[in-house]
Amino acid sequence: MADHKPFRFAVQSFSASSGAEWRDRAKRVEELGYSALHLADHFLGPGPALDATRHPLQELAAVPAMAAAAAATQTLRIGCRVFCIDYRLPVVLAKEAATLDLLSDGRLELGLGAGWLQGEYEAANIGFDPPGVRIGRLAEVVSAMKAFFSGEPLEVDSTAVRWAGFSGCPRPVQRPHPPIMIGGGGRRVLQLAAREADIVSLNFNNRSGVIGPDGVQSSTAERTAEKVDWIREAAAGRDVELEVGAYFTFVTPNPQPMLEGMGKGLGLSPEEMARHPHGLFGEAEAIGDELERRREAYGISYVTIGDDAAEAFAPVVARLAGK
C-alpha cells in the first residue's frame, strides 16, 4: 500500500430545496477545486424512526442526485459514501452504476457498504443480519459487480448473488470498472476493503447501530492507527487510497471552546478531539498543517467534509489539492 498519495478533497451533501440549488451547489463545489461531490444512501424522512438513529435527514436519493450533479459539471466526480447493498437488488445497483459512469463520461466513484443504521432497516421492514453476515454479503456483491462491469457473460453463483444467462451492460467508461470505495470501521470490513477496493474509507465502528459517542470513540487517533495497520496487513502491497470523512470540520480562529464542548459530549478530552482523524479544527493554515501530519502518520490523502464547511475550507483545498 503506497503512502503519500496526492491530496484530494470531496464535499458530502444531504439536501437541497430545488433542482436549481442542487445544480448550483455542484458547480460551486467544482469551482472551489474539490475532487468529488458525495451523497449518502439513506431514505428515512422526518419522524421518530429517524430521530432514534440520531442521523441527519437526507432529503435526496443518491442516484438521481448524482446524475443531476454530473450533468451540471464538467470534471467533478460523483459518488455515494456509501451505497448500502441491502437497500436494492445488486443487479439493479450494478446497472445504475454502469449507467452513471457512462453518462458522466467516467466520473463515478462507486461506494459500497454492508449497511449499519439498524433503525432504518427496521422502519422499512428490511432484515438486519449480524455484522458478519452483512459483510460476507458485501464481499459477494463486490465480486459480482466487478463481473458485471466486465461485460462478459455472467455465471455468478454465491449465497447472495445468482446471475446467469446474461451479460452486464452498459459497459462503464472506466476500466476495468469505476473506482470502488468500501467503507467501515471494523477489522473485517476494512480488510475486505484493503483486498478489493480502490479507495478504503475509514469510518466509525457503528456497531451500536446509531450515531453517538461509541462510534466516535472507536475512531480516535490511536484507534485509527490500529485500523491503518489492519489495512496494510490485508492490502499486501496493493495500492489503495485512504479516505476519511471529516465530520467535525470547523474553520475558526479559536477552536478551543468547540474542542472542549464537543469533547465533553463525546467522552473525549479536548486534546483527543483536536487529534481526532474525523475532526478538523482551527484556521485554514493550521488545518492544512494537521492534514499533512496525518498523511505522514496514517497515509490518509482523501478527505471529505460536509457542505456547510465547503466555502470556509476552500483555502485548504487551494493549498493542498494535488500536492
pLDDT of res. 3: 59
Could you tell me the pTM of the whole model?
A: 0.95
Model pLDDT for residues 24-38, shown as the tens digit of each residue:
999 999 999 999 999
Range of the domain at 25: 8-320
Q: In which band, very low, low, confident or very high, does the pLDDT at 207 lie, cut at 50, 70 and 90?
A: low
pLDDT of res. 218: 81
Query: Would the pLDDT of 108 be above 60?
Result: yes
Name the nearest CA neighbour of 299 among 248, 216, 235, 247.
235
Query: Would the pLDDT of 311 be above 60?
Result: yes
| Distance (Å, whole) CA 227 – CA 252 | 29
The reply to whether 98 falls in a domain is yes
Average pLDDT of the chain is: 95
DSSP category for residue 173: S
Model pLDDT for residues 274-293, shown as the tens digit of each residue:
999 999 999 999 999 999 99
Q: Is the dihedral of CA 314, 318, 321, 323 positive or negative?
A: negative
The reply to whether 208 falls in a domain is yes
pLDDT of res. 210: 54
Instruction: Average the pLDDT over 155-166 and give the result.
Output: 97
Q: At what angle do helices 90-103 and 62-72 cross, to 10 degrees?
A: 10
Query: How deeply is 158 buried, as exposed, middle or buried, from its count of CB atoms within 10 A (0-12, 13-18, 19+)?
Result: middle
Query: Would the pLDDT of 234 be above 80?
Result: yes
The reply to whether 245 falls in a domain is yes
pLDDT of res. 205: 72
Domain harbouring 307, CATH code: 3.20.20.30
The reply to whether 1 falls in a domain is no
Query: Would the pLDDT of 125 be above 90?
Result: yes
CA angle 183, 184, 185 (to 5 degrees): 145
Q: Are 107 and 35 in contact (CB under 8 A)?
A: no
The reply to whether 3 falls in a domain is no
Structurally, the chain folds into a number of domains equal to 1
Q: Are 225 and 242 in contact (CB under 8 A)?
A: no
